[in-house]
Amino acid sequence: MEYTTNELMCVSAAMRLKDGMNVAVGVGLPQMACFLAKFTHAPDLNMFYELGVYNPYPKDTGVGLADPRIWYGCEYYTGFLGALGEILAGGHVDVGFLGALQCDKYGNLNSSMLYRPDGGIRHFTGSGGAADIANLSRNVFLIMKHEKRKVCEAVDFITSVGAYKGGDSRKEKGIPASEGVTVFTNLCIMKTGAESGQLELLSLHPGATLGELRENTGCDLIIPQNYEITPEPDSKYLEVLRNVVDPKRIYIK
């Protein structure tokens, strides 16, 4: 069964979301992966948006957190204070699922600004709740396109802290320890190592090569000898993703 790289990223991420997990999620592919997990193997997964919508069951695919279509059928609405101040800050979040403009070799994320070639600065939407989510979730998941300028040596601005500078540098800054940052791209799956804090290759996607991976990575990626090949998406998951989760193909195209 044929599939797009967005579908592969979405299914790969969904498979790592377990039943009963609490997930702070953003819109786009992270949201699609959460719904896919919830509608298949993880019906008791709990997902919430930073603005306080908890376990929604939307009838249509929304295009932003302020889109009320994605609030439909939610179990309850608590607001920012309840979502970030109680659920997240209370230590109840297993996975913070984010997007970003850049990710550096230590899993630090940038969603705030980029330097232009002429020396100017291009500003973007910024953190929202992403800084808090990365600081206080036990794990961080990230979906992004794999390019040299995106998977890089150093981000232009640290919006959300990953392993910071490796070692104990995160704890030394007073940020709670985490279990790492897992990055899902169109070429592979990577995760910050427990000891080095640097991105390590977990699995290479079908059809991708190490040469292609190195060519599109702007930092030294640790490639262990025992890396895996990412399993192809199960046809049942693709059917749910296409017919239930994102039938308009807004995100998975």
Q: 250 lies in a domain?
A: no
- How buried is residue 238: exposed, middle or buried, by Cβ count under 10 Å (0-12/13-18/19+)? buried
Question: Which residue range(s) make up the domain with 50?
Answer: 5-245
Please state, in angstroms and rounded to a whole number, the distance separating the CA atoms of residues 199 and 36.
26
- In the prediction, which pLDDT does 62 show? 80
Q: 22 lies in a domain?
A: yes
The amino acid at residue 213 is L
Q: How many domains does the chain have?
A: 1
pTM: 0.95
Q: 175 lies in a domain?
A: yes
Q: What is the pLDDT along the chain (253 residues), one digit of tens a residue?
A: 899 999 999 999 999 999 999 999 988 999 999 999 999 999 999 999 999 999 998 888 888 788 888 888 899 999 999 999 999 999 999 999 999 999 999 999 999 999 998 989 999 988 989 999 999 999 999 999 999 999 999 999 999 999 999 999 999 999 999 999 999 999 999 999 888 899 999 999 999 999 999 999 999 999 999 999 999 999 999 999 999 999 999 999 8
Please state, in angstroms and rounded to a whole number, the distance separating the CA atoms of residues 142 and 29.
10
- In the prediction, which pLDDT does 182 show? 98
3-state helix, strand, coil in the chain (%, to 5): 25, 20, 55
Contacts with 116 (C-beta within 8 Å, 6 or more apart), sequence order? 122
- How buried is residue 39: exposed, middle or buried, by Cβ count under 10 Å (0-12/13-18/19+)? middle
Q: 96 lies in a domain?
A: yes
Q: 70 lies in a domain?
A: yes
- Give catalytic residues, as residue numbers: 50
What CATH code is carried by the domain that includes residue 183?
3.40.1080.10
Q: 253 lies in a domain?
A: no
Q: 147 lies in a domain?
A: yes
Under DSSP, is residue 9 helix (H, G, I), strand (E, B) or coil? helix
The label of the residue with tokens 């025992």 reads 226
Q: 251 lies in a domain?
A: no
Report CA 149 to chain centroid distance, whole Å. 18
